[in-house]
Amino acid sequence: MPDVSRILIVDDDPDIHRLLAAALQNESYVIEDRYDGIEALALLQNQPFDLVITDVRMPGMDGLELLRRIHEVRPAAKVLVMTAESTPATVIRSLRDQALGYLSKPFSLDAVAQAVACAVTAPPAQGDIEVLSAIPQWIALRLRCKLDVPDRLIPFLRELVTELPAQEREDVGAAFRELLMNAIEHGGGSDPDKTVRVDYIRTARAMVYKILDPGLGFSFDDLPHAAISNQPDAPCQHFEIRNKLGMRPGGFGILLTRSLADELIYNEKGNEVLLIKHVKPA
């Protein structure tokens, strides 16, 4: 019999409870429902849950206050935040208080099921993403060099670029993910004791993502394991090199990112990069 995950859903809207119950029809989930933050916190003080899913807007204690209070009682608790009115301030508070994930309403049943499946198996979010400073125009983060961190961070950052068409949002997210994975894996050696600095900067005409890793950098002349180094008559040569080096499949990161970003600028050392997406002034 598979392990059973206990999930607490907190929302003042009964329709949301029914929607989530339908999305999570799975014999390995046991669901409890609460309709305000005060009731939910009282329950959590006495019982542990594998995952809490909370709405932001609720009477009495809202979801962001509940998130903060939950981690006072149970520091390792895993919490997904959901909201119909996503704002930069909500994203920032959710990150500051160590939300594991972020769901923007309306969402599909498949999206909920996938987010929950990932969350119940994920390690707690304690300290993996640290907010160093944050205003809507400039958010500075410090990330542990763990390979699961990029996929946890991207849903939060995606909510900061909602004015972009859906495909452009996906493209920017994919480009950022590739760069961050490179920084964590190659610059930080996937060592959780090392960190990567990430800045998101928003101007009137651009979105800028800056990534600084703790590594020694690199030269574009010394990347035989990357697709960017392939010769025109050998477009898959890097696969053989990666295999000999015992590296995971891939190597398309820089090539893919160059195709998705408007500008990609590395510093001289090669351990810091700017990803720039141009936007039209409002």
pLDDT in tens, 224-276: 556 555 566 655 555 565 566 565 555 556 667 888 889 999 999 999 999 99
Mean pLDDT of 44-72: 95
pLDDT score at 217: 86
Residues in the chain: 282
- Higher-confidence residue: 84 or 235? 84
Lowest mean pLDDT among 10-19, 23-32, 194-203: 23-32
What's the gap between Cα 87 and its chain centre?
A: 16
DSSP class of residue 56 equals S
Query: Do residues 223 and 188 lie in contact, with contact meaning Cβ atoms separated by under 8 Å?
Result: no
pLDDT score at 220: 60
Provide the 3-class DSSP secondary structure of residue 128: coil
Query: Do residues 178 and 253 lie in contact, with contact meaning Cβ atoms separated by under 8 Å?
Result: yes
Provide the 3-class DSSP secondary structure of residue 254: helix
Is residue 221's pLDDT more than 70? no
Its pTM stands at 0.85
What's the gap between Cα 234 and its chain centre?
A: 35
Lowest mean pLDDT among 29-38, 62-71, 89-98, 252-261: 252-261
Is residue 49's pLDDT more than 90? yes
Starting at the edge strand found earlier in the chain, the sheet holding 101-104 runs: 29-34, 5-10, 51-55, 79-83, 101-104
* The domains spanning 1-124 and 127-282 adopt the same CATH topology: no
What is the residue extent of each domain of the chain? 1-124, 127-282
Lowest mean pLDDT among 37-51, 119-133, 185-199: 119-133
Fold classification of 127-282 is: Heat Shock Protein 90 (3.30.565)
pLDDT score at 137: 95
How far apart CA 210 and CA 265 sit, in angstroms, is 10
pLDDT score at 132: 98
Lowest mean pLDDT among 144-148, 160-164, 265-269: 160-164
Is residue 122's pLDDT more than 60? yes
pLDDT score at 1: 38
Fold classification of 1-124 is: Rossmann fold (3.40.50)
Here the tokens at position 7 are 């999930």
Residue 180 φ/ψ region, left for φ over 0, alpha for ψ in the -120 to 50 degree band, beta for the rest: alpha
